[in-house]
Amino acid sequence: MMSFVLERVTSFGDAFLGRGEHAVTVPTMDGALQPNQALDAARSAHCIPQPDNLTVHGDRLCVTSGNSLYRWNPDMVACELLNTFDATITSMVSLDGETVLVGLDDGRLQFFGGTSSGREIGKIGAYRAQCPTAILKIDGDRVVVAEGSARHRCSEWRHDLMAGERSGSVWLLDLKASVARCLASGLAYPNGLARASADSIVVSESWRHRLVSIPLEGGSPSVLVADLPGYPGRMTPAHGGGHWLCVFAPRSQLVEFILREPKFLRRMVAEVPEGYWVAPALSSGRDFKEPLQGGAIKSMGILKPWAPTRSYGLVVHLDASLAPASSLHSRADGRRHGITSAVEWCGELWMASRGGDEIVATPLD
């Protein structure tokens, strides 16, 4: 009770002084997040429309694009189509050498491969599949599922941000026993999962721009990394310890300001097509009708790499203590924006640029 009262008082003070969650300032990219051109210099592995999920499945690499599931073998130079689902794939995890579990945009979880292929999960106990943004295998038949929102689908992530939603949750599911337990709720779009220790997980909370730790027994989240300069998404293990964190879109002072103007937000959402909202994007610069910021206008036909931008490419390497150690960027003038997945495979880091319609790879060293 005391902690709740303290949180409310702190929130009121922050709102009055314009700090904390109520500030419109955005942290600069510096130190380990110093901008570079590493993503634009990476090798082009394959061009594919809006690649999203990358998952190592046995000795193969699986990738999703819309409602299609593809795979690479180590000796292949191109990917092959494995299956087409009846809804867009929003999340994926490899359960064993044969089976993958995918989350779909209509909320269902569906098995593909193995003896359970075709089996669907819509609800287990109190769990209701609505917005499966990430899935993490714990052990045996247990998985953790991040539900980004209780009111919006994954494809409606901008609506969730603009509405100021805090309805996300994280669930521990026993697939064999059909038992579900809520680990945390009231989260601001949980969008990535990773194992922190034997008894806790790390969750990326996109709309609060932070990483939190949640016990597998359930409980209040504890902040591990706060005030990131973008919206954090999926996480995967890194060789030698640590994790790779995908930051799928940048923050900006303009968007932070708009989020604090409810009347303008309501009119914008009701009257303006979504592609032209003053909101984060996975790609930009392709339509002259997009909202512009003065510094992002081309000068002499050239877009400055340091210009304000609605989209960006960023993958952060977190060390064992989850502190940023290094990063790979595609800046305002780059083309490999909207990085939604990054995994290590065959000695390289493979990354899905959903905004750039491309999968790129770079050596781990």
Half-sphere exposure of 272 (CA within 13 A, CB side): 17
**Which residues, including other chains, have CB under 8 Å from residue 12's CB and lie 6 or more apart?**
none
Percent with pLDDT over 70 in the chain: 91
Integer-rounded Cα radius of gyration of the chain? 20
**Which residues, including other chains, have CB under 8 Å from residue 46's CB and lie 6 or more apart?**
78, 79, 358, 359
- The model's pLDDT over 22-61, given as tens digits with 9 standing for 90+, comes to 567 888 899 999 999 999 999 999 999 999 999 999 889 9
Q: Tokens at residue 169, please?
A: 């949750």
Q: Which amino acid is at 37?
A: Q
Backbone torsions φ then ψ of 158, nearest 5 degrees: -65, -40
The answer, yes or no, to whether residue 12 has pLDDT greater than 90, is no
Q: Tokens at residue 129, please?
A: 């599949």
The structural domains of the chain, ordered by start, are 25-293+300-363 (2.120.10.30)
Q: How does 168-188 read in b/e, with b if 16+ C-beta sit within 10 Å?
A: bbbbbbbbeeeebeebbeebb
**String of DSSP letters for 197-246:** ETTEEEEEEGGGTEEEEEETT----EEEE---SEEEEEEEE-TTS-EEEE
Q: How does 51-72 read in b/e, with b if 16+ C-beta sit within 10 Å?
A: bbbbbebeebbbbbbbebbbbb
Q: What is the pLDDT of residue 19?
A: 58
Q: What is the pLDDT of residue 325?
A: 95
Q: Indicate the pLDDT class of residue 4, thresholds 50, 70 and 90.
A: very low
- The model's pLDDT over 148-172, given as tens digits with 9 standing for 90+, comes to 999 999 999 999 999 999 999 999 9
- Which of 162, 171, 176, 174 has its CA nearest to residue 193? 171
Least confident of 243-252, 278-287, 325-334: 278-287
- The length of the chain is 365
Measured CA to CA, the distance from residue 21 to residue 162 in angstroms comes to 15
Q: Tokens at residue 288, please?
A: 């002259």
The answer, yes or no, to whether residue 309 has pLDDT greater than 60, is yes
pTM of this structure:
0.91
